[in-house]
Structure 1
Amino acid sequence: MNTPTYIGRFAPTPSGYLHFGSLVAALASYLDARAVGGRWLLRMEDLDPPREVAGAQDAILATLESYGLYWDGELTRQSQRHGEYAALVERLFSQGLAYACTCSRKQLEGCNGIYPGSCRNAGHARENAAIRVRVPQLHYRFTDRVQGEYGQHLGRDVGDFVIQRRDGFYAYQLAVVLDDAWQGVTDVVRGADLLDSTPRQLYLQELLGLPQPRYLHVPLIIQPDGHKLGKSYRSPPLPADQATPLLIRALNALGQALPDQARYGEPAELLRWAAQHWDAARIPRTLTLAETALR
């Protein structure tokens, strides 16, 4: 961890406002970078315009600033990198590493999210079709800094996966791999809902000859009804006037030491203290909403 070349990033999706679960992930990413003098980048993952909430991008930026989570360099947006994604899809397609798929969602019902390879050798035209990348019959494993060893057999557990949707929009798996490599990201700190995406990303990194970052997946916050705290369940947005107490609560959720109340102060002061005392080894693997409350 003691390296001056650490580059981390926070990559929110503007399908809603930041909530407490977002804060926990952002804070972990920020402190993991700042604790070793690394850079912390901000990337807006605006790949899906139909799901984007009007005003969410500006609200996300304003919230990060009000919580003292200032990023390094310029904000980047995935919507500005379509040319790079298109070139990569074309390359994989022309090399026979990807193919057109005309399967509808209805046709894939009952497959439990595992693509059965229906169009793998069909030779469909690309018009009005999704593009899938061929996966090998191999097991991809990695050791997460919090969740431990995790792996998937891509052929058996996932199947060929989409890199460009039928509507022309690019898939997260493709964009995140290209952008992390382009930005030189060395460490990915994000929510555990993306843990099972990582083997697919490891495969794309291998296929494209890109470096593999280290991964740290912070636990999702589970609500009393069993659902994760998130935009899908209308979790309340972060209030600007509660920055310090909510940062303290997020530190507690991450298992971190807490300063004396006299040191709480403004967000910037609190974040400096937290970076000096950051210990990723203390992050729990699982977390309920009740466990985030201060005792």
Structure 2
Amino acid sequence: MTNAIRSHHTQDLDANADEVRPYRGRFAPSPTGPLHFGSLLCALASYLHAKQRNGEWLVRIEDIDTPRVEKDSPEKILSALQAHGLRWDLDIVFQSQRQHIYNTYLSKLEKANSLYACACTRSQIKLRSPSYDGYCRSAGLPFMGNSVRFIHTTNNSEFSDLFWGQQHINTSVAREDPVLRRADDIFCYHMAVVVDDIEQGITHIVRGGDLSEATPVQLSLYQALKEPTPRYMHIPMVVKRANVKLSKQRGAPAIDSTKAVDNLKLALAYLGMDRGAIAHLTTTAKILHWAIEHWQPKLMPKQSELLISIENDVYSAPQSM
């Protein structure tokens, strides 16, 4: 295991949380390729956390960036989840069908004077600063034909993570004014994910640690929209080597759904659970039943990255694990 990061708190902070709304979690993959091991780990962690708390677990397909969607990828992802026994509650939501909802929320932010149009290209921004510098904030440009940015003035660099404890994220990306809608009218990740989580009543978000940096901006969007914020848990990120996230874009192989039992056992080991205790279990249903009962987030390795071995498109734990 590499890159150990210690937080102020190591206990399961959710144990003492004052929950007001019924628990509702979700798994929200982008269909840019089939399900890989890192995605399975996030799906499994979010599923176990929801089911142990008698909550609902939803699945949402984040296909808002339609040019990047791989054909048949949504169906392959859903089929893989089912093969591993991860059954969702309620209907599947597809972001590509929700443009009108995002526009409604964008109008709310516009009325609150929380938006401005930006004509800057990426190359122009890089010439001025490593991150966006608010260049167009007072330019008064029209929204049509330009990207639309959120005025990110609220300081949410500090937040409580259910696994890591109190977090402080003060990177330039976490502070800048994010684009909510591109010039080509495609809504961006921050806008779509916050609106969908509001609309679906999501109370808990369990996701990969690579998205921790997105949390300050998303908390600010909740506040600007005057909506209750969810609880966040960011689990260690699976990498094939240090600082190289396992991803579809980097050619991560699809998990083999015919080996769902073995995949679940490996994933549970990465989540800190006793692999020996489930060695005798031979069905996904029995494994998940055991895992729901024994799930403890505090058992996960206190590391930002978890190394995975891949040989001939087969995932395995490194010998050092």
Structure 1 pair 262–191 and aligned structure 2 pair: CA distance change class (3 A): closer
Q: 2:71 aligned with 1:54, yes or no?
A: yes
For 2:275 and 2:194, the matched residues in 1 are separated by 35
Alpha-carbon contact 1:117-1:159 (below 8 Å) kept: yes
Aligned to 1:172: 189
Query: Normalized against structure 2, the TM-score is what?
Result: 0.86
Aligned to 1:182: 199
Letter in 1 for 2:81: L
Task: Show CA shifts across 1:25-64 (max 9, x none).
Answer: 1000011111121110111111100110011001001100
Q: 2:292 aligned with 1:275, yes or no?
A: yes
Alignment of 1:150-169 (within 5 A): 150-153=167-170, 158-169=175-186
Shift of 1:143: 1.4
For 1:44 and 1:255, the matched residues in 2 are separated by 28
Alpha-carbon contact 2:26-2:58 (below 8 Å) kept: yes
Alignment of 1:35-184 (within 5 A): 35-110=52-127, 113-136=130-153, 138-153=155-170, 158-184=175-201
For 1:46 and 1:35, the matched residues in 2 are separated by 29
Alpha-carbon contact 1:133-1:163 (below 8 Å) kept: yes
Task: Show CA shifts across 1:108-135 (max 9, x none).
Answer: 1155652111110001112210000111
Letter in 1 for 2:308: L
For 1:179 and 1:146, the matched residues in 2 are separated by 23
Gaps of 5+ in 1: none
Match of 1:191 among 208, 213, 226: 208
Gaps of 5+ in 2: 1-13, 310-315
For 1:137 and 1:182, the matched residues in 2 are separated by 22
Aligned to 2:7: none
Shift of 1:261: 5.0
Q: 2:270 aligned with 1:253, yes or no?
A: yes
Structure 1 pair 225–141 and aligned structure 2 pair: CA distance change class (3 A): closer
For 1:213 and 1:150, the matched residues in 2 are separated by 15
Alpha-carbon contact 2:84-2:260 (below 8 Å) kept: yes
Q: 2:292 aligned with 1:288, yes or no?
A: no
Structure 1 pair 195–10 and aligned structure 2 pair: CA distance change class (3 A): same
Letter in 2 for 1:256: M
Shift of 1:140: 3.1
Alpha-carbon contact 1:140-1:202 (below 8 Å) kept: no
Task: Show CA shifts across 1:122-161 (max 9, x none).
Answer: 0111221000011116343111122332234588953211
Letter in 2 for 1:40: W
Alignment of 1:198-217 (within 5 A): 198-217=215-234
Query: Normalized against structure 1, the TM-score is what?
Result: 0.93
3-state SS of paired residue (2:241): coil
3-state SS of paired residue (1:223): strand
Of all paired residues, the percent bearing the same amino acid is: 37
Shift of 1:225: 5.7
Alignment of 1:213-224 (within 5 A): 213-224=230-241
For 2:202 and 2:149, the matched residues in 1 are separated by 25
For 1:65 and 1:156, the matched residues in 2 are separated by 36
Task: Show CA shifts across 1:84-113 (max 9, x none).
Answer: 111121232243210110001110115565
Q: Number of aligned pairs?
A: 295
Aligned to 2:8: none
Q: 2:241 aligned with 1:235, yes or no?
A: no
